[in-house]
A = this chain, B = another copy of it.
């Protein structure tokens, strides 16, 4: 089954189920999932449908993931941990189309990419790309709709809470290095347009389905063609054998199984670019003159504790990132934002596009506490308190939304 981009046929689950006071437990050996209330404060609207990992993602750790559908899997907030890198088995999956067959990675080095809009257009195999240069970059991969579950106007699409994001290490050739061997881009190039290698069903207009995205040519500074994820060959489930990665940009711009790269004067007229992934008021249709989901903004959230804490000293953990600017500081409040304390970053700094785990030692008294975090990037941008309402529920960076309510008994 081929689903169009942004399909509303995806399962829409009750946002309450994504509340951090709920936790999914693996029930039974068949791996059926059920949501259970550990606190019993808010009754569940309904039991979740049992969903297991699709075949192409069977290698993932189901206990760390919420399976929304065969094309959408989210990392549990409780599985994010305090590490600088998200293990691949925990990383969320969001496919706009069903992925190609596994066989496309069996002879990865033979994968071909065509380059256009350059002085010397040609195709290069992955084996050739590997000899042009190599870099490893840690960056946050995040779905445009991460945080959608917190919107109250009911935007369609996957009801992601915080887990449609992870920080991973990509290894590949800088697109700049490739461009150099191609003699440079055309003088009028304003966009880098990447096309995915998914098979498109016959009988439908390809432009309505193809995963083809354009990003400003300025992204050439950090764009890479990646063949490794966390130091292992890139699996099909994350775009293997080769993915266009634009560190600092939302996930959709990181075109999987990339088969062509063009330096273009205009953005592609593919639906996913022209009307999809556009910020607009509720009720409006998507259009090319609306802001596209390109650069990510500063954001953070709490990862522990999620439900209960102890009287006295607790260690509060979370993750923070700046999007295209590195994150400079993060503050934590245990009273819903009335008073703040600066948290400390934990572990090595993996660079401007990576997230940084943070920690704050906090003494807590009995009762209910709303723990929130607020990050500021190196350009002085701070997370806003409120989300910006928009038709599709994109780009939620509200610090109010991303906190957790914790009981100290």
Across the interface, which residues of B come within 8 angstroms of A357, CB to CB? 136
Query: How far, in whole Å, are A84 and B350 apart by their CA atoms in the complex?
Result: 10
Is the beta-carbon distance between A361 and B136 smaller than 8 angstroms? no
Contact mask for chain A residues 336-361; partner B; CB cutoff 8 A; 1 contact, 0 none: 00000000001111110010010101
- Give chain B residues whose Cβ lies under 8 Å from the Cβ of A84: 136, 169, 231
Q: Counting CB contacts under 8 A, is A116 at the interface?
A: no
Closest to A310 in B: B131
Contacting residue for A134 out of B87, B230, B351, B359, CB 8 A: B359
A134 — which chain B residues lie within 8 A by C-beta?
82, 315, 346, 359
- Residue interface mask A136-152, B partner, CB < 8 A = 1: 11100000000000000
**A167-199 interface with B by 8 A CB criterion:** 169, 171
Question: Is A406 positioned at the interface, with any CB of B under 8 Å from its CB?
Answer: no
A135 touches B346 (CB 8 A): yes
A313, CB-defined interface residue at 8 Å: yes
A46 lies within 8 A of chain B by Cβ: no
| CB nearest neighbor in B for A135 | B346
A309 to chain B, nearest CB (A): 11
A54 lies within 8 A of chain B by Cβ? no
In the complex with contacts A131-B313, A361-B131, A361-B133, A138-B81 CB distance below 8 A = no
Contact of A81 with B347 at beta-carbon distance under 8 Å, contacts A130-B315, A131-B313, A315-B131 already known: no
Query: A351 contacts which chain B residues (CB < 8 A)?
Result: 348
Closest chain-B Cβ to A343's Cβ sits at a distance in Å of: 12
* Chain A, 72-86, CB within 8 A of any chain B CB: 81-85
A217 vs chain B, min Cβ distance (A): 25
Contact A136 B347 (CB under 8 A): yes
Interface size on A, residues (CB 8 A): 32
Min CB distance A314 to B, Å, is: 7
Q: Give Cα A84 to B347, complex, Å.
A: 14
Interface string of A57-81 (1 = CB under 8 A from B): 0000000000000000000000001
Which of B130, B348, B359 is the one whose CB lies under 8 Å from A138? B348
Shortest beta-carbon distance, A82 to chain B, in Å? 7
Q: Which B residue's beta carbon lies closest to that of A88?
A: B87
Instruction: Chain B residues near A85: list those with CB within 8 A.
Output: 85, 231
Q: What's the nearest-Cβ distance from chain B to residue A50, in Å?
A: 27
Question: Would B315 and A82 count as touching, CB distance under 8 A?
Answer: no
Given contacts A131-B361, A133-B361, A230-B83, contact A169 B347 (CB under 8 A): yes
Neighbouring B residues of A361 by C-beta, 8 Å: 131, 133
A121 to chain B, nearest CB (A): 22
Contacts of A350 in B (CB 8 A): 348, 350
Extra A-B contacts (18), CB below 8 Å, given A81-B232, A134-B359, A169-B348: A82-B136, A84-B136, A84-B169, A84-B231, A131-B313, A131-B315, A133-B361, A134-B315, A134-B346, A135-B346, A135-B347, A136-B347, A137-B347, A169-B347, A171-B346, A171-B347, A348-B354, A350-B350
A: residues with CB less than 8 A from B are 81-85, 87, 130-131, 133-138, 169, 171, 230-232, 313-315, 346-351, 354, 357, 359, 361
